[in-house]
């Protein structure tokens, strides 16, 4: 069972408005996106109840990608109470993402 939330134009703002959310901008055809997907699944489990993990398919929500200046995928944003507090571009190690989430939660 996945702990990841599919983020769309309709639910993005309400989902990231409060708390900490790791947002993954990805696409089905993106090899590096597929490589990092298991890491995001693990983080979704590890941080359940403390932070959420959401995925924005850039093909289905190009406006969100444009709004956040996403030009390469995967792009991962750490959002806290609706504000971007950290950004990673490309495949990023689980430990690096966990550290960023811990910092945002603290």
The per-residue pLDDT for range 27-60, each reduced to its tens digit, is 999 999 999 999 999 999 999 999 999 999 999 9
The per-residue pLDDT for range 5-32, each reduced to its tens digit, is 999 999 999 999 999 999 999 999 999 9
67-85 average pLDDT score: 97
Rounded to whole angstroms, the Cα distance separating 21 from 105 reads 10
| 47 annotated active-site | no
Active-site residue identified among 7, 22, 30, 78: 30
Structure confidence at residue 47 (pLDDT): 96
Using left for φ > 0, alpha for ψ between -120 and 50, and beta otherwise, residue 19 falls in left
Residue 76, pLDDT > 80, answer yes
* Cα R_g (the chain), whole angstroms: 12
Structure confidence at residue 2 (pLDDT): 62
Active-site residue identified among 7, 16, 33, 51: 33
| 30 annotated active-site | yes
Question: Could you tell me which CATH number the domain at 4-105 has?
Answer: 3.40.30.10
Structure confidence at residue 1 (pLDDT): 39
**Residues 48, 7, 88, CA angle at the centre, nearest 5°?**
75
């Amino acid at each position: 069972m996945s702990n990841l939330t599919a983020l769309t134009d309709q639910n993005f703002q309400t989902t990231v408005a409060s708390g900490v959310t790791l947002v993954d901008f990805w696409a089905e055809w993106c090899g590096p996106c597929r490589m990092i997907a298991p890491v995001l699944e693990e983080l979704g489990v590890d941080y359940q109840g403390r932070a959420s993990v959401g995925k924005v398919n850039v093909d289905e929500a190009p406006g969100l990608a444009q709004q956040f200046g996403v030009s390469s995928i995967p792009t991962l944003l750490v959002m806290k109470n609706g504000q971007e507090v950290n950004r990673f571009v490309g495949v990023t190690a689980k430990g690096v993402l966990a550290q960023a989430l811990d910092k945002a939660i603290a």
